[in-house]
């Protein structure tokens, strides 16, 4: 990791090292924090508490975790501890909590807006650039013995709102996560207007370097397999832009998606 101007006070006493970073320049951002390493026992104990603001996400996460899928500006709150005798045992015994707040960025590798506009793309892919821009991406998390869990992820995009929850297993660098993107009634998705209409849940599995994206079939069926329920949702939205979309690609996408589901379910009528 690349660290800029830093103010550091270090104290070492009988095998207990305490670091106080009152000033820390890091990837165009800044922060402060404390680190302690207690080596007085057979297994060392490490604790870290950090508050970081304004970091450039892509270079920071690439250097820190070999993860280059996120762009934007990030704020981090971190309070973690662990014990062990090697990097592997430290990661496996990691515990703590924290929060993230990312702004004006993008997730590379998936286009949630295109998927929400066209149900068919959840199965076949739309051919568009695989990138999801966001005004805000935020959430909190806990870590227990190397397993990170999040229940309140929120992403705000001009045309969709996304919520998410799931787990990330840190030692093997794998994830089991579920996202619910909701098409908004107008271009005010990031302004807090109520998300309406179609939900196509998305499952993210695999490794950090090779994530796998797939629609949650059960979720799709529960949200779009009933034409009457879908019609009621659309009528409740009552927004001009949504009606325009229904006249075009969204209607075609829903028809294709429902036909595809019918085939997958053994020819049952939807």
Condensed to tens digits (0 to 9), the pLDDT of residues 69-112 reads 899 999 999 999 999 999 999 999 999 999 999 999 999 887 77
**What does the alpha-carbon distance between residue 75 and residue 55 come to, in Å, rounded to a whole number?**
7
Question: Is residue 48 predicted with pLDDT exceeding 50?
Answer: yes
More confident residue, 49 or 211: 49
- The pLDDT assigned to 112 comes to 74
Q: What is the pLDDT of residue 180?
A: 87
Q: What is the pTM of this model?
A: 0.70
Lowest-confidence region among 50-64, 160-174, 175-189 = 175-189
Q: Which of 18-32, 141-155, 178-192, 201-215 has the lowest mean pLDDT?
A: 178-192
268 C-beta neighbours (distance < 10 Å), count: 10
CB-based contacts of 200-203 (< 8 A; 24+ apart in sequence): 200/115, 200/116, 200/119, 200/122, 200/224, 202/110, 202/112, 202/115, 202/122, 202/178, 203/176, 203/177, 203/178
Among 91-100, 120-129, 161-170, which stretch is predicted with the lowest mean pLDDT?
120-129
Confidence bin at 127 (pLDDT 50/70/90): low
pLDDT surpassing 80 at residue 27: yes
Quote the pLDDT of residue 140: 98
SS (H, E, C) the chain: CCCCCEEEEEEEECCEEEEEEEEEEECCEEEEEEEEEECCCCCEEEEEEEEEEEEEHHHHHHHHHCCCCEEEEEEEEEEEEEEECCHHHHHHCCEEEEEEEEEEEEEECCCHHHHHHCCCHHHHCCCCCCEEEEEEEEEEEEEECCEEEEEEEEEECCCEEEEEEEEEECCCCEEEEEEEEEEECCCCHHHCCCEEEEECCEEEEEECCCEEEEECHHHHHHHHCCHHHHHHHHHHHCCHHHHHHHHCHHHHHHHHHHHHHHHHCCCCCC
Ramachandran region of residue 145, left (φ > 0), alpha (ψ -120 to 50) or beta?
A: left
Mean pLDDT across the chain, nearest whole number?
A: 80
Helix axis angle, 240-247 relative to 249-264, nearest 10°?
60
What average pLDDT score do residues 205-224 get? Answer: 74
In this prediction, residue 118 carries a pLDDT of: 57
C-alpha span between 96 and 142 (Å, rounded): 6
* pLDDT band per the 50, 70, 90 thresholds, residue 258: low
Residue pointed to by tokens 């990312």: 102
Contact 120, 138 (CB under 8 A): no
- What integer pLDDT is reported at residue 218 of this predicted model? 63
Give exposure, 34-57, as e/b (b: 16+ Cβ within 10 Å). ebbbbeeeeebbbbbbbebeebbb
Spatial separation of the C-alpha atoms in residues 132 and 47, rounded to whole Å: 35
Q: Given a cut of 60, is residue 223 above it in pLDDT?
A: no
- Range scoring the smallest mean pLDDT among 11-20, 41-50, 95-104, 256-265: 256-265
What number is the average pLDDT over the span 204-212?
Answer: 89
| pLDDT attached to residue 225 | 47
Residue 120 in this model has a pLDDT that exceeds 50: no
Read off the pLDDT band of 135 (50, 70, 90). very high
């Amino acid at each position: 990791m690349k660290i800029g101007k830093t103010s550091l006070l270090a104290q070492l006493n009988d095998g207990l090292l305490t670091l106080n970073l009152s000033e820390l320049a890091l990837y165009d951002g800044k922060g402060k924090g404390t680190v302690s390493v207690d080596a007085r026992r057979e297994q060392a104990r490490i604790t870290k508490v950090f508050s970081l603001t304004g970091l450039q996400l892509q270079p920071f996460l690439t250097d820190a975790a070999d993860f280059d899928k996120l762009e934007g500006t990030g704020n981090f709150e971190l309070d973690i501890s662990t014990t062990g005798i090697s990097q592997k045992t430290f990661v496996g015994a990691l515990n703590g909590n924290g929060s993230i707040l990312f702004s004006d960025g993008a997730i590379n590798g998936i286009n949630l807006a295109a998927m929400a506009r066209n149900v068919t793309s959840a199965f076949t892919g739309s051919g568009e650039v695989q990138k999801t821009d966001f005004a805000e991406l935020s959430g909190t998390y806990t870590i227990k013995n190397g397993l990170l869990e999040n229940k309140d992820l929120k992403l705000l995009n001009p045309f969709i709102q996304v919520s998410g929850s799931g787990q990330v297993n840190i030692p093997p660098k794998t994830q089991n996560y579920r996202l619910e993107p909701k098409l908004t009634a107008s271009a005010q998705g990031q302004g807090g207007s109520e998300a309406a209409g179609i939900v196509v849940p998305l499952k993210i599995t695999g490794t950090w370097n090779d994530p796998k994206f797939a629609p949650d079939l059960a979720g799709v069926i529960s949200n779009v397999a009933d034409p009457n329920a879908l019609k009621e949702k659309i009528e409740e939205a009552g927004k001009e832009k949504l009606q325009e979309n229904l006249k075009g690609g969204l209607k075609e996408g829903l028809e294709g998606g429902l036909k595809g589901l019918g085939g997958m379910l053994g020819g049952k009528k939807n």
